[in-house]
Structure 1
Amino acid sequence: MSHRYPVNWQEFYLNAQALAWRLNEGKSWKGLIAITRGGLVPATVVARELGIRKIDTISIVSYDDNDKQIEPSVIKTCQTNNQGQGWLVIDDLVDTGATARIVRDLVPQAHIAAIYAKPSGKDFVDTFMTEVSQDTWIVFPWEEEIN
């Protein structure tokens, strides 16, 4: 990646809150599905803002321990029925769309949202908050100490 974009806690929270407000426009959600691990923190903010208490997860591994993209694999799926109809799926970022495509196969009727979207992946989610260039590496606040 050519550009590192560090996101601080305040910026992250404001973007997650704004995403929740956008998702609240005339909608009622049965529950929320967080994509782990990246979607866990934004899902917490969105669930709190929208008053959602029923939360599940889908765990998809798409990066190795060195932050290199790998072929995505599902290691845990959710327990929803009705193909995800009325459910909200939250992730931190849609990059190539590979994870979102898998999620769409698992819960085709769910509404998929991400805080950040890159051009190659943005068409695979229903809602996103902020678009960044394809060559940007977003450094989330919970990753700062790791990197």
Structure 2
Amino acid sequence: MATPPTAPAHDAAPPTPRYLTWADIGSAVQVLAERVTTGGPPQAVVGIMRGGMVPAVWLAHRLKIRDVRSIEVVRTTGDIINADKNPLPDVHNPASLGDLRGLDVLLVDDIAGSGVTLAHTADMLRDLGTARLRTAVLAVNRANWEQDAHPADAIDHIAALYDTWIVFPWEGTA
């Protein structure tokens, strides 16, 4: 297994990253699918590019939702572990979402680190007139969480909580 590059060391050494496998992802998607359906299936699934598209498509298949959309919202400045973050997420090509007015939408990302990207994107989707918006993530990194609310109070559906950086199998390092 390859070890990913890491950001320059700060005061203390960061915890060892957690490497998830495809089996871990499959189990997490199943957990999310079961939780989402208790509130009725959404009409559309929106994945946050890049990593959120993998669970978004997988969830859409499990939920039998054909309307899958994407939005690129990026806060980290690179792909290395503990990469620096911009103060606010950069949004690219928001027109790719199309018309979401009146729809029940499930917003999906792979990870909520600080929680800022997911919250920013959720606000953007609400502003587009969604009738109902739910959020789902495979994992939360509590060590990076920056929101006032506890992750479970800020995100509708969370498959797992961790206290370290998560490395996903699609990142080519697991």
The one-letter code of the counterpart of 1:139 is: V
Task: Go from structure 1 to structure 2 and tell me whether the alpha carbon gap of 1:117 and 1:80 turns closer, same or farther (over 3 Å shift).
Answer: farther
Match of residue 73 from structure 1: 90
Task: Go from structure 1 to structure 2 and tell me whether the alpha carbon gap of 1:16 and 1:112 turns closer, same or farther (over 3 Å shift).
Answer: same
* Greater share of strand: 1
* Residue 66 of structure 1: how far off its partner (Å): 4.4
Match of residue 139 from structure 1: 167
Match of residue 107 from structure 2: 89
Q: Could you report, residue by residue, the CA deviation over 1:20-57 in whole angstroms, capped at 9, with x for unpaired residues?
A: 11111141311100010010111121011000100111
Unaligned runs of 5+ in 1: none
* Residue 100 of structure 1: how far off its partner (Å): 1.3
Contact 2:141 2:165 in 1 (8 A): no
Task: Go from structure 1 to structure 2 and tell me whether the alpha carbon gap of 1:104 and 1:26 turns closer, same or farther (over 3 Å shift).
Answer: closer
Instruction: Give SS of 2:171's match.
Output: coil
* TM-score (ref. length: structure 1): 0.87
Instruction: Please give the alpha-carbon distance, in whole angstroms, between the structure 1 residues aligned to 2:100 and 2:172.
Output: 37
> Which of residues 41, 45, 65 is equivalent to 2:54?
41
Instruction: Give SS of 2:170's match.
Output: coil
Contact 1:118 1:132 in 2 (8 A): yes
Instruction: Give SS of 2:158's match.
Output: strand
Task: Go from structure 1 to structure 2 and tell me whether the alpha carbon gap of 1:94 and 1:15 turns closer, same or farther (over 3 Å shift).
Answer: same
Instruction: Please give the alpha-carbon distance, in whole angstroms, between the structure 1 residues aligned to 2:156 and 2:39.
Output: 15
* TM-score (ref. length: structure 2): 0.75
* Residue 5 of structure 1: how far off its partner (Å): 0.3
> Which of residues 118, 128, 142 is equivalent to 2:158?
128
Match of residue 117 from structure 1: 140
Report the count of equivalent residues.
Answer: 143
List structure 1 runs of 4+ shifted beyond 3 angstroms: none
* Larger Rg, first or second structure (1 or 2): 2
> Which of residues 57, 65, 76 is equivalent to 1:63?
76
The one-letter code of the counterpart of 1:51 is: K
Instruction: Please give the alpha-carbon distance, in whole angstroms, between the structure 2 residues aligned to 1:85 and 1:130.
Output: 27
User: Once superposed, what is the RMSD of the aligned Cα atoms?
Assistant: 1.8
* Residue 80 of structure 1: how far off its partner (Å): 3.2
Instruction: Please give the alpha-carbon distance, in whole angstroms, between the structure 2 residues aligned to 1:131 and 1:76.
Output: 30
